[in-house]
Amino acid sequence: MILGLKGSCLPKGCYKGIVNRGGAENAEGGKYREIVTYKVYNIFSPRSLRLRGLKFLKCLTEVFSLIAIIDYGMGNLRSVEKAFAKVSVPAQVTSDAEVIRRAPGVVLPGVGAFADCMKHLQEYGLINVVKEVIDAGKPLLGICVGMQILFETGEENGQHQGLGVFGGVIKKISGNLKIPQIGWNNLHFAKDNPLFAGIPDHSYVYFVHSYFAVPTDQDIVAATTTYGQELTVAVQKDNVFAVQFHPEKSSAIGLQMLKNFGGMIK
């Protein structure tokens, strides 16, 4: 056991530690006297410094290997984080711009209104950070309204500017339907996509939305669903992936998608 007391006659950086404590019989008095054996530890020895340095580097590696789930006050943050944990993909919720920039992969969640999400992202000073992550070629996954704000404009409660990563507009679902769409619906894959690796076509996922994306470029459409009409519910271009549904609430299918996203991280 190492004691937290520096020996007064020891060199700087050296500490005493008890390595043995016992008793010895005093033949004259029949009593016991305590015998204490000390060992001196130099906490600044090359070996000690090396071990502490390795632990520090290991800690840094673990921190910067985490997927960053962007916290800007609009999203199911903890449920997404827990879903990643279920598939053993390290992730952390953060609003720190530097942590997001250094992360090997980023998730942009979102719930609520298009304009509110953009407003919060601006207030948190993270709009340019998201764009920097994309420009750096790191995998980014937009979820629900996090997908919608990646488009140029949204028509929810007026016309609002998005991030403009994808060309197109976010429109309200029309027709004699229950709005929002809440519940399970199946996917129709439009093209091969690493996010859907190992997932059968027509798999069911969980939706909560009143608006959907109308992309300018149909080549980015990764999956659609049918709700009165065909709706684009997943898009992908280069390192940017986005889904309208909630993978964190979509049981084994959604967990597989998050695991696939984690597998893209270098």
pLDDT tens for 78-88 read: 999 999 999 99
How far apart, in whole angstroms, are the C-alpha atoms of residue 80 and residue 255?
10
Parallel, antiparallel, or unpaired: how do β-strands 211-215 and 204-209 relate? unpaired
Q: Side chain identity at 209, as an amino acid letter?
A: H
Is residue 169 within 8 A of residue 133, CB to CB? The reply is: no
Among the options 144, 156, 160, 209, which is catalytic?
144
Provide the pLDDT confidence category of residue 17 given band limits of 50, 70 and 90.
very low
Q: Name the band, by pLDDT with cuts 50, 70 and 90, for residue 208.
A: very high
Q: What is the percent of the chain with per-residue pLDDT over 70, rounded to a whole number?
A: 76
Q: How confident is the model at residue 61 (pLDDT cuts 50, 70, 90)?
A: very low
How large is the angle between the packed helices 114-123 and 127-135, nearest 10 degrees? Answer: 90
Q: Which pLDDT band holds residue 75 (cuts at 50, 70, 90)?
A: confident
Active-site position among 81, 117, 156, 248 = 248
H runs (alpha helix) in 177-241: none
Domain boundaries, the chain: 64-263
From 81, 117, 209, 246, the catalytic residue = 246
The predicted-structure confidence for 89-101, as pLDDT tens digits, reads as follows: 999 999 999 999 9
- Residue 165's pLDDT band, with cuts at 50, 70 and 90, is very high
Query: Known catalytic residue: 246?
Result: yes
Cβ–Cβ < 8 Å for 166, 215 = yes
What is the rounded CA–CA span in Å between residue 209 and residue 230? 14
According to DSSP, the residues that pair with 170 across neighbouring strands are 154, 213
Strands (E), the chain: 14-25, 32-42, 67-70, 91-94, 106-108, 140-143, 151-154, 160-161, 166-172, 181-186, 188-189, 204-209, 211-215, 221-226, 230-237, 240-243
43 pLDDT exceeds 70?
A: no
Which CATH superfamily hosts domain 64-263? Class I glutamine amidotransferase (GATase) domain (3.40.50.880)
- Whether 9 is a known active-site residue: answer no
In terms of C-beta density within 10 A (0-12 exposed, 13-18 middle, 19 or more buried), how is residue 171 classed? middle
Higher pLDDT among residues 55 and 176, named by residue: 176
Whether 227 and 205 have beta carbons less than 8 Å apart is answered as: no
Res. 103: pLDDT tops 70: yes
Mean pLDDT along residues 161-178 = 96
To the nearest whole number, what is the mean pLDDT of the chain? 85
Q: Could you confirm whether 209 is annotated as catalytic?
A: no
